[in-house]
Amino acid sequence: MDHFVYRAGRLWAEDVPLAEIAEAVGTPVYVYSDATLRRHLGLFQEALDWGPHLVCFAVKACGNVAVLRLLAEAGAGMDVVSEGEWRRARAAGVPGERIVFSGVGKTRAELRCALAGGVRQINVESEPELRALSAVAAAMGLEAPVAIRVNPDVDARTHPKIATGLSGTKFGIPAARAREAYRLAASLPGIRVVGVDVHIGSQITDLAPFEAAFRRVAELTEALRADGHRIERLDLGGGLGIPYAGSGEVPPLPRDWGAAIRRTVGHLGCEVTVEPGRLIAGNAGVLLSRVLYVKEGEGRDFLILDAGMNDLVRPALYDAHHDIVPETEAPPDAPRRVFDVVGPVCETGDIFARGREMPVLAEGDLVAFRSAGAYGAAMASEYNSRPLVPEVLVRRDQFAVIRRRPTFDEMIARDSVPPWL
Q: Give the pLDDT of residue 251.
A: 82
pLDDT value for 1: 66
Residue 10 and residue 40: Cα distance in Å, rounded?
24
* Alpha carbon distances (Å) from 152 to 176, 197, 216, 355: 9, 10, 7, 39
19 within 8 A of 286, measured Cβ to Cβ: no
Pairing label, strands 285-296, 29-33: antiparallel
The ranges of the chain annotated as CATH 3.20.20.10 are 103-274
Decide: 367 and 291 in contact? Cβ < 8 Å.
Answer: yes
- CA-to-CA distance for 257 and 275, rounded, in angstroms? 13
Q: Given this model, what pLDDT does residue 155 score?
A: 56
Q: Which amino acid is at 106?
A: K
DSSP H/E element including 317: helix 314-318
CB 30 within 8 A of CB 286: yes
Q: How many CA atoms lie within 13 A of 48 on its CB side?
A: 22
Counting every residue written for the chain, the total comes to: 421
Provide the b/e sequence for 55-90 (b: ≥16 CB within 10 Å): bbbbbbbbbbbbbbbbbbebebbbbbbbbebbebbb
Half-sphere exposure of 343 (CA within 13 A, CB side): 26
Q: Are strands 324-326 and 366-369 parallel, antiparallel or unpaired?
A: antiparallel
- CA 165 to CA 163: how far, in whole Å? 6
Buried b (16+ CB within 10 A) or exposed e, 119-152: bbbbbbbbeebbebbbebbeeeeeebbbbbbbbb
| CATH label, 4-31+282-413, candidates 1.20.1070.10, 2.40.50.100, 2.20.140.10, 2.40.37.10 | 2.40.37.10
Nearest to 87 by CA among 118, 56, 129, 57: 118
d(C-alpha 118, C-alpha 77), whole Å: 13
DSSP-based three-state secondary structure for 201: strand
Query: Please, which residues bridge with residue 58 across strands?
Result: 79
CB-count burial class (<10 Å; 0-12, 13-18, 19+) for 382: middle
| Mean pLDDT for back-to-back runs of 10 residues, the chain (421 residues) | 92 98 98 98 97 98 98 98 98 98 96 98 96 98 96 60 54 88 97 94 84 93 96 94 72 92 96 96 97 93 97 94 96 94 97 96 97 97 98 98 98 97 97
285-296 and 301-305 beta bridge pairing: antiparallel
For CATH 2.40.37.10, the residue range(s) in the chain are 4-31+282-413
Positions marked catalytic: 346
Give the pLDDT confidence score for residue 245 in this predicted structure. Answer: 65
Name, in order, each residue with C-beta under 8 angstroms of 249's C-beta and a sequence gap of 6 or more.
205, 241, 243
| CATH domain 103-274 topology | TIM Barrel (3.20.20)
Please report, for the chain, how many H helices and E strands are present, in that order.
12, 21
Query: How many angstroms separate the CA atoms of 264 and 51, rounded?
Result: 13
Q: What is the pLDDT of residue 168?
A: 63
pLDDT given at position 321: 92
CA distances from 352 to 116, 170, 220 (A): 43, 29, 43
CA distances from 93 to 71, 75, 413 (A): 11, 12, 31
pTM of the shown model: 0.94
